[in-house]
Structure 1
Amino acid sequence: MLSDLRRWIQWSKRRWSLSTQNSALIEFSLPAIIIGLLIGCLLCFTNLYFGLQTGFISMMSLQSALIGFLVSKILPNPLTPQEIILVQTTATATGTMPLAAGFVGIIPALGLIDTERDGSPPIHLTWMAGIGWSCAVAFFGVFLSPPIRKQVIIEEELAFPSGTATAQLISVLHKLPPPDTKLRRRNGYEPVEDEEHIQTEPALETTPLNEPDITPAAGWHELLWSFVASGTLTLAAYFFPVIFAIPLFGTYLAREWAWYFTPSLSYVGQGIIMGFPTTLSMNIGMLVGWGILSPIAKYSGWAPGPVGDMTSGSRGWILWVSLAIMCADSLVSLLPVAWEFVVDAVHRMRFGSLSKDDGETETAGRLVPGRWVIIGWCLSVFVGIILIWIVFGHEGIKPVATFAGYVIGGLLSVLAVRALGETDINPVSGLGKISQLFFAWIQPGNIVANIIAGGVAEAGAQQAGDLMQDLKTGHLCGASPRAQFYGQLIGSVVSIFVTTTAYSLYTRAYPIPGPSFPAPTAYVWLTFARLLRDGELPENSYIFMVVFAIVFALISAVKYQASKKQVWWAKWIPSGVAFAIGFLNTPSFSIARLIGGILEHVFRTRYARSGGDIRLIVVASGFVLGEGVTSVISLILKTFGVGVASCMGCAQTGVCGGCPS
């Protein structure tokens, strides 16, 4: 009996030692994964819906952590802070696949290719081909994250403001001491909270937060009523489309110049999440593009077609100016990051590390082994090359060129992560254009190859950047990087099937691009590929492109210097990317977001009880998720032939809010 007891004690000690060394498995819990996947699937449909409408998606990591916390409170055993981080990581990996796999830009762009103009027929992927393409780009960015993590989070201690804000939120909700965010600032530059091309997170105040200004019950109440309100309005707009097409300045301007208002609560919620400075930049761009340049192009005869036409109308004409602004802003924003990267790399090669201790606080059992990264990246690239060749054929893009795309994408991912860590901006659009520039030389004249190569680079940059925000959150809250890595892989696998299926359902029910889902970024990809091939521009557009590119290059440089000096007015300098997005989308999309931005500013400056008051974030999350989930119901109704109840109002105004006719 005594010997049995001794053996049991020895077995227990060995088991405890094993659990301590592999504590990643303790944090890797099934409830956290299931909750993360459920939230991520909702975000996946939501991001695909809004991405096809406006070109914007949201990372929603902070919202995922918040919803995961509220859900866990109804479980018998609430999740720990580390498990909430696993929920957030899994949800983010699942929810952002519509952008990573190009379903809001690359895939619609391939469908816009014209046989006569581009020398290649349009490409419409089947469900199986979509699965193959998604598998080709879904993982190599994930395998890039662990080695980059050590450099940017441990050694350089970059801020990653959104990831830091999420860590603070989790600490607030669990009533833990605030995470240590006193980071080393490179060259005296402290990042400001700013906008991001496709995703933005509201940053909490950086002062210590100990008590949340919200209880789980109140959080559920506010989330549910905002969800129901947004969903009800969306469903009503499906049956009565005029609700989402209200003339602002009379029926003539609404019908002929696209000046109408879409009172979508989800757009208001996105504006709250984006913040007032970003939405203000977007609306200034909207006024310049649609209020000044569009009439100039129309009345000068440079864009004689209907205003909303992307080919012959002024919307297609101002698209080129938008493209010039994006490229100039992204290039200037990337130059300091690239320069600092080169300087640091040269310094390490000449002098080595200043210390043998790299500051790593995690044990080997909680880190992702280097051999996993090497083998996983090589396999993902090898399989990706084969899958892309199968999906698009040798005439689409050569295997050697695809391999070059992965290599370029890996290098650009480093810049994306560093830019995101320092400025909270992931310049994936500009990085995709850089890849397109390379492929205009590698495989000249091939529109398909150019777009695909840009998509591969964008996928790596977007994944590596987004997942690094989650790893920053985990680092501040003591979560296992290996557990987060598992969550990223699982989320990516599930999202391949969810995203592809959702996109297939949308294409069966709606024309894409079309009135309901214009997919504006698809035109950006195709337009730039055509420009690189033949250099043709719409009449007199080059003058405005050059002027606006110079202006916003200077503005971006001033914004960087102001941020470096930490002046208060830095965040109020217009963002070039947000300004350009105002050109891409009709005024109806921008105005509602401005309302949300104003609400965020007023609430934060006048009504928020403390830096930890997250009531408005909860409401914004409900607004966004309400329309996103209801869009699935609308999709089902559309698929089964259930149309609108009445087109009343549309005929009188001449503005269609989504009628099938």
Structure 2
Amino acid sequence: MEIEMENVDLQQQNRQPPSSSSSSSEEEKETGGFGSYLLGMSSTIASPDEGYLSKNIKEMKLNWMIGFLFVVSFIGLFSIVALRKTMIIDFKLTYPSGNATAHLINSFHTLRGAKIALKQVKALWVSFSISFFWSFFQWFFTGGDNCGFSSFPTFGLKAYANRFYFDFSAVYVGVGMISPYMVNISLLLGSIISWGFMWPLIGKRKGDWYHASLSDSSMRGLQGYKVFISIAMILGDGLYQFCLVVYKSAQAYKIQASHQSSSSVLPVNANGSPPALGAPKISYDDEIRTDTFLKDQIPTKFAIAGYVVLALISTVVLPTIIFKQLKWYYVLLTYIVAPVLAFCNSYGAGLTDWSLASSYGKLGIFVFGAWAGLANGGVIAGLAACGVMMSIVSTASDLMQDFKTGYMTRASPKAMFVSQVVGTAFGCIIGPLVFWVFFKAFPLGKTGSSYHAPYAALYRGIALLGIEGLSCLPKHCVQLCILFFFLPIALNGARDYLKHKNYNAHKYLPNVMSMAIPFYLGPYFAIDMCLGSLILYVWERRNKAQADMLASALASGMICGDGIWSLPASVLSLAGVKAPMCMKFVPGSG
């Protein structure tokens, strides 16, 4: 149920958020790329007017798609598994979807005599039921484009045009109740800075900074600023945290070695520094969970060796057998930087529940497409690199979500890892087979088809744009990206300095990773999450003991109920059943 972000490019054009019936958006529900970057390689999507067309198309075939998935899908499982303790225990990242799933699982194994547990289960199932039937009720009003409560202009049509509205999503409200206050405040702050000031101001430079004929969804125009500035902020924050973890971990290992310590726990807390003396003790339940989580260790050497071996196999197989346009050193470079990007994506998902796999994939398109060039098959090289990058960062994030679920349910980390491997293997076979049935039965991607595959055309368009390199970006985009790359480094450095000096001001500095996400997506989900924080705050003021006991269970029910509705909604969609009404708001005639 992890909230993911891939259909945003077209949805921003229509000013419609991801459906609240599911916590993941349509384009990134499947990182196999069957409806996006893989189909975008085919002649069905390619235009006859493109140059060097023969080198920039690859027709869909079942054998190479299965082979591609087997080569790239397992590597992400090994990419940051060595940092699972840092992410789950030291950083104490919430991973709201993993947390919600754990509460739902725990509710099935509650002892009858435990009064508190029974209250939590009751709260979970009540909120689950309300959330499910609320999503069902909303469905009746979605019989058209931009219809329903999710497109309700809460603060007026002008604010709605800039994505400032409440979309009545129980998922985001529940996530907001689980996420820390500063994360939600940072999301709202990032929304105000970007959609309240930056994008409207840059939009006024239309005709000067970028061509006046371009739409706001064009990567050559305003969309280019949104995508790359948000990526720059995410990379700046993620790289800072990654380097800090590596540095502190190296220090810890050095201290342990000098004292011949046998402890397996690295003294690294959420800020990458040793825990302070007199820090509050964790609860008994958390002690048991931590002990279980650390007892069944996955050896770091095994994770590193697995990643290296799979990366070497992929480096050989991809360019020599599957994609001739993809040079071996492109693949090798991808696997060198992928663990850092996987850490950034998992860190962001742990804070906000949003996976930004598509952003990293688009970054891969631009880098490797421009490197190869159109004459050397840059479109295929860029799309293939996109697939490799998306597979790694998305799989790593999903695995860390599952580790969070395993931590909360006291499941064996080894069992969770093996289950992921088995599930991934099945997916590498079942996914392409299902796609192949649809591909042979329906005219996917063809003009006039009911299955016109808009994301395949979108990704190919980005690839054609990306082969031009930085020159295709609008004016001052690169300079702004550099500025916003160093902004999180400065803020994080200031926070760590203030904390080192024991100044309480460090608590009030925003989280830049959280600020960056609405730069691209918009403020609507940040408003939902802030409402969740407000509910929790009022609840804690009125009855803190009750809030501490029931808030997580209540939020988990909201997330799970809304997410489960996606199953019957999908069945209705496949059966061709459409909602009977369309609720839409338009400007008045006066």
TM-score interval, normalised by the smaller of the two chains? 0.5 to 0.7
Q: Which residue of 2 aligns with 1:340?
A: 248
- What SS does structure 2 have at the residue aligned with 1:611? helix
The counterpart of 1:319, out of the listed 205, 227, 240, is 227
Cα 1:323/1:403, change in 2 over 3 Å: closer
Instruction: Note if contact 2:488-2:512 (Cα within 8 Å) is conserved in structure 1.
Output: yes
Instruction: Note if contact 2:68-2:322 (Cα within 8 Å) is conserved in structure 1.
Output: no
TM-score, normalised on structure 1?
0.60
**Residue 462 of structure 1, CA deviation:** 4.8
Mapping for residues 241-320 of structure 1, pairs under 5 Å: 241-243=146-148, 244-248=150-154, 251=157, 262-274=167-179, 276-300=181-205, 301=207, 302-303=209-210, 304-305=212-213, 308-311=216-219, 313-320=221-228
Separation in 2, partners of 1:134, 1:433: 16
- What SS does structure 2 have at the residue aligned with 1:236? coil
Give the count of matched residue pairs.
529
Separation in 2, partners of 1:513, 1:118: 23
Separation in 1, partners of 2:352, 2:368: 30
Separation in 2, partners of 1:447, 1:511: 20
**Residue 226 of structure 1, CA deviation:** 1.3
Q: Which residue of 1 aligns with 2:94?
A: 162
Letter in structure 2 aligned against 1:488? Q
Residue 211 (str. 1) matches residue 113 (str. 2): no
Query: What are the ranges of 5 or more consecutive residues in structure 2 without an aligned counterpart?
Result: 266-289
**Residue 636 of structure 1, CA deviation:** 1.3
Cα 1:468/1:239, change in 2 over 3 Å: closer
Instruction: Note if contact 1:49-1:628 (Cα within 8 Å) is conserved in structure 2.
Output: no
Instruction: Note if contact 2:107-2:121 (Cα within 8 Å) is conserved in structure 1.
Output: no
Instruction: Note if contact 2:184-2:529 (Cα within 8 Å) is conserved in structure 1.
Output: yes
Residue 134 (str. 1) matches residue 66 (str. 2): no
Q: Which residue of 1 aligns with 2:334?
A: 405
- What SS does structure 2 have at the residue aligned with 1:309? coil
Instruction: Note if contact 2:166-2:528 (Cα within 8 Å) is conserved in structure 1.
Output: yes
Separation in 1, partners of 2:348, 2:156: 42
Separation in 2, partners of 1:97, 1:577: 20
Moved more, 329-338 or 140-149: 140-149
Q: Which residue of 1 aligns with 2:238?
A: 330
Instruction: Note if contact 2:315-2:331 (Cα within 8 Å) is conserved in structure 1.
Output: yes
**Residue 538 of structure 1, CA deviation:** 0.5
RMSD: 5.8
Letter in structure 1 aligned against 2:324? H
Separation in 1, partners of 2:512, 2:451: 32
Moved more, 312-321 or 163-172: 163-172
Mapping for residues 45-56 of structure 1, pairs under 5 Å: none
Residue 557 (str. 1) matches residue 493 (str. 2): yes
**Residue 394 of structure 1, CA deviation:** 0.6
Cα 1:152/1:253, change in 2 over 3 Å: closer
Instruction: Note if contact 1:329-1:576 (Cα within 8 Å) is conserved in structure 2.
Output: yes
Q: Which residue of 2 aligns with 1:80?
A: none
Instruction: Note if contact 2:185-2:530 (Cα within 8 Å) is conserved in structure 1.
Output: yes
Separation in 2, partners of 1:494, 1:552: 40
Identity within the alignment, %: 18
Q: Which residue of 2 aligns with 1:6?
A: none
CA deviations on 1:444-490 (whole Å, 9 max, x unpaired) are 54465456446535544554465356557757876444433332222
Q: Which residue of 1 aligns with 2:521?
A: 585
Separation in 2, partners of 1:175, 1:283: 37
Q: Which residue of 1 aligns with 2:477?
A: 541
Moved more, 304-313 or 281-290: 304-313
Q: Which residue of 1 aligns with 2:420?
A: 488
Separation in 2, partners of 1:619, 1:556: 34
Cα 1:277/1:436, change in 2 over 3 Å: same
Cα 1:460/1:289, change in 2 over 3 Å: same
Query: What are the ranges of 5 or more consecutive residues in structure 1 without an aligned counterpart?
Result: 1-42, 58-63, 65-91, 177-208, 655-661
**Residue 138 of structure 1, CA deviation:** 2.1
CA deviations on 1:72-120 (whole Å, 9 max, x unpaired) are xxxxxxxxxxxxxxxxxxxx9xx99947656898669879999859987
CA deviations on 1:124-161 (whole Å, 9 max, x unpaired) are 86776554433222222334567666x869xx974544
Instruction: Note if contact 2:132-2:564 (Cα within 8 Å) is conserved in structure 1.
Output: yes
**Residue 233 of structure 1, CA deviation:** 0.8
Q: Which residue of 2 aligns with 1:611?
A: 548
Letter in structure 2 aligned against 1:624? D
Separation in 2, partners of 1:342, 1:128: 44
Cα 1:518/1:620, change in 2 over 3 Å: farther
Instruction: Note if contact 2:31-2:390 (Cα within 8 Å) is conserved in structure 1.
Output: yes
**Residue 367 of structure 1, CA deviation:** 6.4
Instruction: Note if contact 1:269-1:596 (Cα within 8 Å) is conserved in structure 2.
Output: yes
Letter in structure 2 aligned against 1:354? Q
Cα 1:291/1:109, change in 2 over 3 Å: farther
Cα 1:127/1:314, change in 2 over 3 Å: farther
Cα 1:342/1:236, change in 2 over 3 Å: same
Letter in structure 2 aligned against 1:135? F
Letter in structure 1 aligned against 2:73? A
Letter in structure 2 aligned against 1:142? L
**Residue 416 of structure 1, CA deviation:** 5.9
